Amino acid sequence: MSLKDQITEDMKTAMRAKDMPRLGTIRLLQAALKQKEVDERITLGDAEVVAVVDKLIKQRKDSIAAFESANRQDLADKEKAEMAVLQAYLPARLSAEKVAAEVGAIVAEWSQAQGRKAGPGDMGKVMGAVKTRLAGKADMGEVSAAVKAALAG
């Protein structure tokens, strides 16, 4: 069963259970998926669905930070609940050590292919290679920090 089908089944389950907060979040996710399909005139695969879920989770994190700084704990709690529902659709994340090891291997491969040692100026090129391999498997903020560390060292 594809991830998109799983989301549809979860929506049906939430409807039957009358779980309104979960249902609202899943409907929001389905609307975002449909919008991407319509905008780009494609049918989304699992990788693209994970990218949309990642984007929605990042939005929730930003909202939580804004609400907490404005002392609106009620709204922050609502966003946290939505984020928990969305995180169920992400694959298992790599640990920080595995991310660092994977980034180190990618930087070494890139350096070898270029015939020179990668430096901080190569951040964009290396991030492009890293994103294709680690998309959906790790938090990109964490990956970016690991790439900076690998290129600086």
- Condensed to tens digits (0 to 9), the pLDDT of residues 37-71 reads 999 999 998 888 988 998 999 999 999 999 999 99
- Whole-angstrom Cα distance, residue 112 to residue 44? 34
Domain that holds residue 105: 96-152
Indicate which CATH number applies to the domain containing 65.
1.10.1510.10
Look at the chain and report how many structural domains it folds into.
2
How is residue 117 written in tokens? Answer: 């040692």
One domain for residues 71 and 106: no
Q: What pLDDT, on a 0 to 100 scale, did the predictor assign at position 127?
A: 85
Percent of the chain with pLDDT over 90: 52
- Whole-angstrom Cα distance, residue 37 to residue 4? 12
